Amino acid sequence: MELQDIFKRLGYPKNTDTVYRTLSISKEPLLVSTIAQHANVSRMVVYRCLLKLEESKLVSRSVIGRRTFYALLNPRRLKQLIAMCEKESGEVIEKYAKEREKEVPQSIRFMYGASGIRSAFDDVLAHTKKGDTFFRYTSERDLARVNRYLARDYRIRRDKKKLERLVISNPVSGKQKKSRLERFIKFIPREVDLFEQDIIQLIYGNRVTIINLNTEEVFVIENKQLADFQKTIFNLLYKKL
């Protein structure tokens, strides 16, 4: 990430990075006119940037006679501001996520992010019995990316339960998978339709889980009738392929 990106993310005026960099390479405090000359921007732009930098305690001001000089303070202060911004952003996101979760019925769970996707796969193991079969539609374009979401011991726990998997996939992703006795894969032919939406649907026990890899959003629906309905549709399509 460049300095320009950092100040933009923090909400500073345009050209703040140029003003900041000019002060950082100077061995002595500078006048506004000097900063403007070296940064190749107008004095008005410099004043606007310095006002924000001074408010954030990134630069200091000293007055000698009628002239005002500006100097850079400890650069680690910028690191502190970034950390504060990330913390506040996380709190805002968490607030809206919780509000959204309240609107979702108790039989439906909403999760997001890498941790949410990891939890979705773990949920399959938690709600299946030893020797059960679960079903998976998978239209991901990058299998390696999906595998990075899995917990390190996911496959060990899955294999310990001796789960059988029926999979409907696209040829690109499906052929990247290693052959396993407990997994049977069939493909949606390219000539029929393009099955690369980066969506995964898991059907297991009394649950249906939908994973949107594009937005890293997960919906887990607990409903026996819906799960049975989806299993029936899956089996019909699986037999046709």
Q: Which helix (H) or strand (E) holds 168?
A: strand 164-169
Q: What's domain 104-240's architecture?
A: 2-Layer Sandwich (3.30)
Dump pLDDT digits (tens) for 203-234: 999 999 999 999 999 999 999 999 999 999 99
Q: From 5, 13, 2, 9, select the one nearest 51 (Cα to Cα).
A: 13
- Residue 181: is its pLDDT beyond 90? no
**In this structure, are residues 125 and 157 in contact, taking their beta carbons and an 8 Å threshold?**
yes
Output the pTM of the full model.
0.55
Q: From 226, 235, 120, select the one nearest 167 (Cα to Cα).
A: 235
CATH: 1.10.10.60, 1.10.10.10, 1.20.1600.10, 3.30.457.10. Which one for 3-75? Answer: 1.10.10.10
Separation CA 203–CA 4 (nearest Å):
46
Q: Which helix (H) or strand (E) holds 232?
A: helix 224-240
What is the domain partition of the chain in residue ranges?
3-75, 104-240
Dump pLDDT digits (tens) for 99-114: 766 665 668 888 989 9
- Which one is predicted more confidently, 176 or 110? 110
DSSP letter for each residue of 60-126: EEEEETTEEEEEE--THHHHHHHHHHHHHHHHHHHHHHHHHHHHS-TTEEEEEHHHHHHHHHHHHHH
pLDDT of residue 182: 46
Q: Which helix (H) or strand (E) holds 20?
A: helix 16-24
Residue 94 CB neighbour total at 10 angstroms: 10
Pairing of β 67-72 and β 59-64: antiparallel
Separation CA 201–CA 211 (nearest Å):
6
